Amino acid sequence: MLGRIFPRLGQRRAGQGHLAATARRLFVDRAGATAVTFAMLLVPMLMAAGGGADFYAMWRRKADLQQVADGAVMSGAINADAGDNDAKVKSAVKDFITKNFDTPFKATSTVTTTLDSNLGQVATEVTSAMSTTFLKVFGLSNLTFKVKSAATYGGGLMEVALAIDVTGSMDGAKLTAAKAAAKDLVQTLWTVPGTTKTNDKVKISLVPFARYVNIGTSYRGQSWLDVAADKTWTTNECWNEEQGGYCSATKTVTSTCYNDGTPYSCSWQECTNWVSGKIVNVCGTVNHATAWNGCVGSRAGTADLQAEATAASKIPGLMDTWCNAELVRLTKTQGQMISAIEGLSAWEETYIAPGMLWAWRTLSSKQPFADGSSDTKVKKAIILMTDGANTVSADPTYVPYHWGSDVTASNTTLAKVCANAKADNIAIYTIAFQVTDATIKKILTDCATTPSYFYDSTNIAAMQQAFKAIGAQLSSRRLTY
């Protein structure tokens, strides 16, 4: 009846019934297709889930093996330091892996160990495997993994430069303590840990620095050096000379003087009444001389930001200039180095950049000395110790002399030389000895290879401990990879 009264409503219900039937048929068809698709994806899904669990277990097992391998090479390094032969060292590595990995994990690892006496290094490669749980179903019953590790012993091939501040502010107890610390370091580096053998694989250089560096006079005539010949001559001259003059009264003048930037109280006698004498014209022979004492200055521009010196870019020798003790090139002779350290004395102002630069030059395989090895496996390090900030700089007006007072320029030069030396694969350790200037401490921190290679020593004991720590780090057993 409703259909007759409302014909459209009847038609709609009939249409809805048709749609519902069609929907039921589609649902049945899709359910069947979904079941087939799910069945097809089930195998790779199970494989991925189970395989992921197996691979995670392998990753954890490999991490365990890496830790054991690290311990094994350290064990081998201890045996190598004790003087054991290759067979004993290799056996120590193998036994450590067997005891700490193979036995607890019921594994059979393949261990290949090598010794490099030049590098002072024990290296091992360990291959092992573990059984799978889920991947077995798919025919993969084992997962194989490999680790590598290496440790140094006895220092290995090493070239080390000591750049020591010998400026006026170091005079007295500070320099005495620094010399003792440097000698201890030298003895540490030249003695193989655990033995009494002298380590002939270690070379050390010494670069005392103040306003200038003294390279010694034996290099005159070298292609990389620009220095005039020494000469003497005489002239006949006349001059006025006061005769019979004298001081009849003096007074004491007290003031503040400076030694390498460090203030101190000083006094002197000043004449307050000079009694003039007779002015007489005198003539005679005057002897003149000019000589080179081994002091070297800076090249113009940015040339001295790099260590190399050539005939096209020569290092300037400074005539009639005095500087501190001569540097010592890389040597294996312990007595020579100890004697040179003992002979250091303090004098003059501070310019740190030349100290760093010449330390780098002593380690370089290029001119001026070309003493350093070109083998990248040789460990190279600079240890720089200073007790204060820069007080002088290179003088752009009077190149190549260091008569300037632009401390900012000196700091910038030092930072750039440090960066270039590090780029040349040289490790840099810096020691600030009772330094109060925050700017130079920041530069020395940045100069060091890492912040941990910078030592802020506020007293003599801390400075000496810094040298000991550096010596132990350079010569001790440690993991290299």
Residues 324-358 have pLDDT tens digits of 999 999 999 999 999 999 999 999 999 999 999 99
Q: Is the pLDDT of residue 37 over 60?
A: no
Q: Which amino acid is at 386?
A: T
Instruction: Read off the pLDDT of each residue in 170-175 and give the average, rounded to a whole number.
Output: 96
Over pLDDT 70: what percentage of the chain?
88
- Could you give the residue ranges of the DSSP H alpha helices within 82-172? 86-97, 103-105
Asked if 219 and 292 count as a contact pair (C-beta separation under 8 A), the reply is no
Compute the chain's Rg from CA coordinates.
38
**pLDDT score recorded for residue 46:** 54
Cα angle value 377/383/386 (rounded, 5°):
165
Over pLDDT 90: what percentage of the chain?
72
List pLDDT tens digits, range 384-442.
Answer: 999 999 999 999 999 999 999 999 999 999 999 999 999 999 999 999 999 999 999 99
Q: Roughly how many angstroms between the first and final C-alpha of the chain, as a whole number? A: 93
List pLDDT tens digits, range 233-273.
Answer: 999 999 999 999 999 999 999 999 988 888 899 999 999 99
Predicted TM-score of the model (pTM): 0.75
Q: What is the H or E stretch that residue 251 is in?
A: strand 246-259
**pLDDT score recorded for residue 49:** 57
**pLDDT score recorded for residue 39:** 47
Asked if 470 and 422 count as a contact pair (C-beta separation under 8 A), the reply is no
Tokens 């087939």, residue located: 36
List pLDDT tens digits, range 186-229.
Answer: 998 888 665 566 777 899 999 999 999 999 999 999 999 999 99
**pLDDT score recorded for residue 194:** 54
C-alpha distances in angstroms, 354 versus 190, 209, 226, 349, 409? 26, 7, 17, 12, 13
For residues 392 and 349, what is the distance between their CA atoms, to the nearest angstrom? 7
**pLDDT score recorded for residue 74:** 85
